[in-house]
Chains A and B, each alone.
Chain A
Amino acid sequence: GQNIDQPTEMTATEGAIVQINCTYQTSGFNGLFWYQQHAGEAPTFLSYNVLDGLEEKGRFSSFLSRSKGYSYLLLKELQMKDSASYLCAVKGRGSTLGRLYFGRGTQLTVWP
């Protein structure tokens, strides 16, 4: 089975740094994605990790530890527009090839 766990809600203030954690237990692993979803809109791709370590992309970074089944998304210099749901998704392999298994998303609210 697939189990992907992330906090339901987080809040932070403008200019701050926030870390959104994701833990997973899956029968196959072929990479981990982070997506951003604003209310009423489609999910959009933020980052992808398949090897252990940190991937940095501007204000956003994503970290993966495969041995621990753990990832985090780090958002720096928060802006009001970063208020959104952040979805962690694990890509399957083998019999689950092509599947993306999503967590329930973390709703981030950024306050002025």
Chain B
Amino acid sequence: GAGVSQSPSNKVTEKGKDVELRCDPISGHTALYWYRQSLGQGLEFLIYFQGNSAPDKSGLPSDRFSAERTGGSVSTLTIQRTQQEDSAVYLCASSLEAGVAINEQFFGPGTRLTVL
């Protein structure tokens, strides 16, 4: 079946602009995660959605970052007033649900963001 998809695959923007990154999780997966993969920082957790519950935003690096998940499916990560240090690959993952013994997360191909 279809895996996690993300768009765009690449995004180049100028410093100070806003960007939106999209994630389509696997159908039926109630848990959705955003991570960031950057040089020197490895893979960092950003935000987590579980069904219709309030998201866990504990990993967001600043208030310029926000995310929403509409209808419990598609998610959009928004970065406002982008900075050069936001340049990274943004990964989305989904899983059947959280809180179970084995939480296999399935990852999308990522969006490579470059801030000039």
A binds B: no
Residues in A lying within 8 Å of B, measured CB to CB: none
